[in-house]
Structure 1
């Protein structure tokens, strides 16, 4: 299993599910357990702002995957 940080949670890489940082969310609890067992989360990617505005948000998100 692997995860990538987002601004308000993580993305589970295996199925691209967004998991918000909500203590009541079962997937968030699973993520925290994974980290506690030594899992290393992929960092948040922040491209230059001009790149995002030039290509559009949808194209940027497609590149993130």
Structure 2
């Protein structure tokens, strides 16, 4: 979501995502595609995104990759 999105909107989106991710058919389909369903709070998700960003930034830097 865009920076500055009101917290109540973030919380409503989070509740909707958690509900969908708890549905067995959604979880099964994600697993078929190699995905991992993640539920939790908006803060939990932010921590996951930050950790992934940090991890992949190191890979890009090590590889010397640049955007064209």
Q: What TM-score, normalized to structure 2?
A: 0.25
Q: What TM-score, normalized to structure 1?
A: 0.25
Higher relative contact order (CA 8 A, sep 6+): 1
- Structure in which a larger fraction of residues adopt strand: 1
- Structure in which a larger fraction of residues adopt helix: 2
